[in-house]
Chains A and B, each alone.
Chain A
Amino acid sequence: SQTIHQWPATLVQPVGSPLSLECTVEGTSNPNLYWYRQAAGRGLQLLFYSVGIGQISSEVPQNLSASRPQDRQFILSSKKLLLSDSGFYLCAWINIGVSAFFGQGTRLTVV
């Protein structure tokens, strides 16, 4: 069966520190993977998506980057966090029109 793992669940980081959020999927190969951010009181903003190893599409210019080092691994990173990076980050594996699986999310608080 298909599953998606995302960690950590909660993270508190100081301004200027680096970030690494990891997402892995099981039960499929060559998945389309996505990172979304949900800020307080706002909807889901698409940040990055990847259709294969090393292929990253960025939707919003910002302080974040993404990488796809392995077929079933998707990583969200930052070299230096800003206060505005706080939010709820969701990894998703989506085959549009067919299926979509979301991770449990990471609540990031930048202090």
Chain B
Amino acid sequence: AQSVTQLGSHVSVSEGALVLLRCNYSSSVPPYLFWYVQYPNQGLQLLLKYTTGATLVKGINGFEAEFKKSETSFHLTKPSAHMSDAAEYFCAVRGDSSYKLIFGSGTRLLVRP
């Protein structure tokens, strides 16, 4: 079965500091991996995705993630945090059916001025 583990339910960084949100996955099929962001009382917005090809993927708002098969990881990074980045971030993996998308438990990013 497929699963996603996000380490750290809360991450706090200073404005301008590096953002690193961790995601590890397990998958019995070639993984499709995703990062989504959720602002308060809103739905989810796709930040970036990995399906095949280049393992370093760039997304919106300056975020990027690197697929590391040997580590079964897909960590999300941003070189310099902005106050507007404060939100909840979800990592997701395609499930054992091509119709399932399995989410991690989420990481709330706090950005300190």
Contacts and interface: CB of A to CB of B under 8 A. Distances in A.
B44 A90 contact: yes
Interface string B57-84: 0000000000000000000000000000
Given A97-B51, A102-B45, A105-B42, A43 B98 contact: no
A97 B105 contact: no
Contact of B34 (A36, A42, A57, A100): A100
A32 interface: yes
Interface of B (DSSP majority class): loop
Contacts, number: 62
Interface in A12-60: 32, 34, 36, 41-44, 46, 49, 51, 57, 59
B85 to A, nearest CB: 19
A102 B32 contact: no
A96 B103 contact: no
Interface residues of B, number: 24
B94 A97 contact: yes
Contact of A46 (B34, B36, B100): B100
Interface of A (DSSP majority class): strand
B11 interface: no
Nearest to A96: B94
For chain A, the bracket of interface size reads 20 to 34
Given A43-B90, A43-B106, A44-B90, A96 B101 contact: yes
B46 interface: yes
Contacts of A105: 41-43
Q: By CB atoms of chain B within 10 A, which of A90, A92, A94, A96 has the most?
A: A96
Interface in B4-56: 6, 9, 32, 34, 36, 41-46, 49, 51
Nearest to A104: B43
Interface of B: 6, 9, 32, 34, 36, 41-46, 49, 51, 90, 94, 98-106
29 contacts: A6-B43, A32-B99, A36-B103, A41-B9, A42-B105, A43-B6, A43-B103, A43-B106, A44-B103, A44-B106, A49-B99, A88-B41, A90-B44, A92-B43, A92-B44, A94-B99, A96-B98, A96-B99, A97-B32, A97-B51, A100-B34, A100-B36, A100-B44, A100-B46, A100-B101, A102-B36, A104-B42, A104-B43, A107-B41
